[in-house]
């Protein structure tokens, strides 16, 4: 390692956060696309199946049934039929279904994103692929190279374990890669098949809560950094530029959210304290992130957040000063798709861009760690 000493009386110039954003090439999102598996269930159908599966504990289900109506979810997508959830399944079957469906969904979302950006797959220089609900080796990004038509020389970054925060952190990693490769096209891919983690023999409250909110889906984003501020070409919709990103992990919070590895699959970890932690800790972390980037809450025109569930989105509305229902895009995605882990916030982003929102937006999600992930997007 080379050590460079500063001369007495001299100091390195310090750039403000605003100046750093001006020096770094802007990272522009050129398209966002989502994809969903073929099966779609209403909340009442799922509640009925849960009552059947957990019928051996009638008192527990009687207490839990109201959560299906209070989850903020109306419909969800699944890569397997409803009957699958009433049967036992082991790791080999789960991972076979995971790989098969993840590749199909990522290919579908990736093609839609490429079409939306008006480019061909062989123009992609690098990919970032996020998933936390299944394991595949070779990794998913290598498995979709052929179906998508990516070059054999494409640079790949697979990321596992970010949970619900993966949509924001993964996009940040893709933006960092784009900034390091000005002019190169980067493809960010994300899929979560939450339904495949359901374990019929687990009658814990956390597993049952998962059945009230979890859904399956995928998303893809095409982005590129250019050495100047000019848009890459004619544009009829919203131009989205990623200005900054960051994270905050609270110490000693590993047991708040995540997975445990069980004999027959992944076991969900949900703490009942998540809404309270959001109310107590989210605002200071948000304000610190904004301040580190030369911004204040008054500079934020809107919020693109991962809704989690009804209690989580309500807590976020409280933290960010909204009336109940104020985070309308997040609630709409939760109602239509449920909690798709990392994919959810990208679906909220897609919806926000589709309605041609303008101004600086804060993108945020919470995930295992226990961690908060942030990005600042300027929608023009």
CA distances to 122, 147, 160, 180 from 103, rounded to whole Å, are 18, 9, 15, 28
Residue 164 appears among annotated catalytic residues: yes
CA angle 205, 211, 215 (to 5 degrees): 145
Q: Is 173 helix (H, G, I), strand (E, B) or coil?
A: helix
CB 34 within 8 A of CB 343: yes
SS3 224: strand
Separation between Cα atoms, residue 95 and residue 336, nearest integer Å: 26
Residue 292, token pair as written in the block: 């580190």
> What length is written for the chain?
380
Angle ∠(143,145,149) on CA atoms, nearest 5: 145
Give me 347's structure tokens: 């679906």
**Number of neighbouring beta carbons within 10 Å of residue 53:** 19
What does the block give as tokens for 248? Answer: 């905050």
Distance of CA 211 to the CA centre of its chain: 19
Tokens of 87: 């049967």
For residues 103 and 140, the answer to whether their CB atoms sit within 8 Å is yes
Closest by CA position to 215, among listed 2, 34, 27: 34
Element housing 268 (H / E): strand 265-270
| Active-site entry in 164, 190, 194, 337 | 164
Residue pair 212/192 in contact (Cβ under 8 Å)? The answer is no
Provide φ and ψ at 248, rounded to 5°. Answer: -145, 125
Q: What is the set of active-site residues?
A: 164
């Amino acid at each position: 390692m080379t050590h460079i000493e500063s001369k007495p009386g001299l100091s390195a110039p310090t750039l403000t956060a605003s100046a750093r954003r001006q020096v770094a090439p802007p990272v522009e999102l050129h398209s966002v696309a989502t994809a969903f598996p073929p099966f779609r269930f209403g909340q009442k159908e799922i509640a009925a199946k849960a009552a059947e599966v957990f019928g051996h504990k009638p008192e527990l289900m009687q207490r839990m049934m109201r959560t299906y109506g209070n989850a903020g979810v109306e419909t969800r997508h699944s890569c397997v039929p409803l009957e699958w959830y009433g049967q036992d399944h082991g790791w080999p079957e789960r991972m076979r279904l995971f790989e098969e469906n993840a590749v199909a969904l990522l290919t579908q979302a990736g093609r839609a994103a490429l079409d939306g950006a008006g480019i061909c797959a062989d123009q992609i220089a690098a990919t970032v692929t996020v998933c936390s609900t299944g394991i595949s080796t070779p990794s998913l990004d290598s498995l979709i190279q052929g179906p998508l038509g990516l070059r054999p020389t494409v640079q790949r970054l697979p990321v596992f374990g970010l949970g619900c925060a993966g949509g924001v952190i993964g996009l940040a990693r893709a933006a960092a890669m784009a900034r390091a490769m000005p002019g190169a096209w980067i493809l960010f891919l994300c899929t979560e098949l939450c339904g495949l983690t359901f374990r019929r023999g687990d009658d814990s409250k956390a597993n049952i809560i998962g059945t009230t909110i979890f859904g399956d889906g995928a998303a893809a984003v095409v982005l590129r950094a250019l050495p100047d501020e000019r848009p890459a070409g004619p544009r009829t919709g919203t131009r989205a530029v990623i200005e900054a990103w960051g994270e905050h992990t609270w110490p000693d919070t590993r047991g708040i959210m995540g997975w445990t590895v069980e004999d027959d699959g992944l076991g969900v970890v949900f703490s009942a304290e998540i809404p309270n932690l959001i109310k107590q800790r989210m605002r200071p972390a948000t304000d610190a992130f904004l301040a580190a980037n030369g911004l204040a809450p008054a500079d934020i025109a809107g919020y693109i957040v991962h809704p989690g569930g009804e209690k989580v989105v309500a807590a976020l509305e409280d933290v960010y000063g909204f009336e109940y229902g104020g985070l309308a895009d997040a609630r709409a995605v939760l109602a239509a798709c449920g909690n798709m882990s990392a994919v959810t916030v990208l679906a909220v982003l897609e919806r926000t861009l589709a309605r041609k929102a303008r101004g600086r937006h804060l993108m945020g999600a919470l995930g295992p760690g226990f961690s908060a992930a942030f990005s600042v997007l300027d929608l023009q």
